[in-house]
Amino acid sequence: MGVRRWIAVVFLLCAMGGVYAHASATLLLEEPYSYDGTFAGTGHVALYLDRVCADSPFVLRRCKTGEQGVVLSRYHGVAGHDWYAIPLMPYLYAVELPEQVPLFADPKLVSFLRDQYRRKHFSGFIPDAPDGEVPEGPWVQLVGSSYDRTSYAFQIETTEEKDDELIRRFNADPNQGIYRLLSRNCADFVREIVNFYYPGALHRGIIGDLGVTTPKQIAKCLVKFSKHHPELQSASFVIPQVPGTVKRSKPVRGVVESAFKAKKYMAPLLLWHPAIVGCFAAAYFTGSRGFDPERHALVFDPRRDLEPPMSAQQRREYLNRLELVARSITESSGQEVKWPQLRANAQPELDEAGRPVLNVRLGDGTVKVGLTSENIVSSSESTEIAQHFLLIRLREELRRNGPKAAPSDVHRDLSLLEELQRGRAEMASPVAGTF
């Protein structure tokens, strides 16, 4: 293993699993998006085990030195299996090392990164489509979760004996699809595993979720269990959705909470059946309130240790600094650039270090634009396009009521933007005169 790879792995382990010295299980409460965000809003849940690894997505084993552990979760309709074990970095970002995580993501890049990982690791059970292209289907949920949604992590220590017993049980039992929405969903899967470690720790919400196991309910139970057992070391942190043009995820809710807060459901009921609305209100105020997954959460980034989120004062200071840089960029641009058209014609690829770049068509040629903190300055042949991507990222990080961000992340991104600006002042951008 090369020096850079070893440092990256150790750094990631310190950030994700090294909050304390003991091994741990980390419940990942993931916000809803797409149809789930529009209609249900209950999101998804998975479990990260930092001492359990896998020879394949279906065979577990103990981790070797330097390995990251796996994320276990139940899925519906993915190659006929009930659960999958995916290494941490691919599960979150569809790449294998922290320096390969992009600063900016659009749907085309996300699809590319997922397919690159599928071709390398999943081709045996998720083959190409008949035309040789990317297959459709729910397999995309296996990798790149942080492009679609923000996740909240709740960590609690485990023991070697229990980890080994869990591995034996999973490897011995048949891994066949048994998903049922109301009784064997992703939250039931995680509930059963955590209760294996700590019997009775997690349970369904009888009032707030009408007896259905939901991701938010079991996260709430784990937080409560940790508070009642201070002898067990625990922690919580947030894994922000990667900034970009992918639609933002929505707050995670329980069953009654989702229905009660949805005007499209409650308004007609209030008109025709106000008593039913009253029942929902009673259930909501009795069983669904009082749990905020963001409260006291540190901020996760694979390139550093866990950090507190920036304060309101820091946010204002960074916004002022960003506006000064953005104004300078606008004044020096010369003419309007059609960014949606540029992105639509761009093609992603990986550089020699496996880091994503975009090939952007400009006139009769193309320019490369780096997309990671390591190559956005050194590999970008158009400072203007690189600056545009960083501006999108920074405005998402600094958006009021947006996802949490750590001061060091914003400082790094602003420094990259200013470095690109200084480079452009010394050399005319290749974009100039092509629009």
CA 275 to chain centre: 40
pLDDT at position 328, please? 85
* pLDDT digit string, tens, across residues 131-154: 888 999 999 999 999 999 999 999
Confidence (pLDDT) at 3: 42
The token pair at 225 is 């269990």
Query: 248, 397 in Cβ contact below 8 A?
Result: no
Q: DSSP letter string over 205-248?
A: -TTTTTT---HHHHHHHHHHHHHH-TTS-EEEEEEPPPPBSSPP
Question: Could you read off the pLDDT of 397-433 as tens digits, one per residue?
Answer: 998 877 789 999 999 999 999 999 887 766 554 554 4
Q: How far is CA 58 from CA 126, 139, 169, 174, in A?
A: 14, 14, 12, 10
CA–CA gap between residue 43 and residue 278 (Å, rounded):
25
> Rounded to whole angstroms, how far apart are CA atoms 74 and 76?
7
pLDDT of 311 reads 92
Tokens of 365: 């040629």
pLDDT of 127 reads 95
Tokens 């010295």 found at: 21
Helices and strands counted in the chain (H then E): 15, 12
Half-sphere exposure of 79 (CA within 13 A, CB side): 18
Residue 247 to residue 91: CA distance in whole angstroms: 19
Question: CB neighbours of 316 closer than 8 A, spacing ≥ 6?
Answer: none
**pLDDT at position 265, please?**
47
As given in the structure block, the two tokens for residue 315 are 């946010």
Q: What is the model's pLDDT at position 290?
A: 64
The string of pLDDT tens digits covering residues 214-227 is: 999 999 999 999 99
The predicted pLDDT at position 5 comes to 44
pLDDT over 70 at 88, yes or no: yes
The residue-averaged pLDDT of 94-101 equals 97
- Residue 20, pLDDT score: 41
* pLDDT 10s digits, 265-285: 444 444 444 554 455 455 555
Report the candidate in 253, 249, 251, 248 with the shortest Cα–Cα distance to residue 284.
253
Q: What angle do CA 145, 146, 150 make, to 5 degrees?
A: 110
Supply the pLDDT for residue 274.
56
Torsion angle defined by CA atoms of residues 137, 142, 143 and 144, in that order, rounded to the nearest 10 degrees:
70
Alpha-carbon distance of 218 to 225, in angstroms, equals: 10
Upper half-sphere CA count for residue 209 (Cβ side, 13 Å): 23
Q: What is the DSSP string of 310-347?
A: PPHHHHHHHHHHHHHHHHHHHHHH-S---HHHHHHH-E
The residue with greater pLDDT, 225 or 37, is 225
H-run or E-run covering 259: helix 255-260
Residue 183 DSSP class: T
Work out the percent of the chain whose per-residue pLDDT is above 90: 64
Beta sheet of 365-370, edge-to-edge order? 347-350, 356-362, 365-370
CB atoms within 10 A of CB 363: 11
How far is 94 from 148, CA to CA, in rounded Å? Answer: 12
- State the average pLDDT for the chain: 85
Residue 177 identity = G
Cα 148 from Cα 91, distance rounded (Å): 12
Question: How many other C-beta atoms lie within 10 A of the C-beta of residue 185?
Answer: 21
Q: Is the pLDDT reported for residue 86 higher than 50? A: yes
Nearest residue to 90 (alpha-carbon basis) of 62, 112, 70:
70
Helix axes 383-397, 312-333, angle to 10 degrees: 160
Q: How far apart are alpha carbons 342 and 340 in whole angstroms?
A: 5
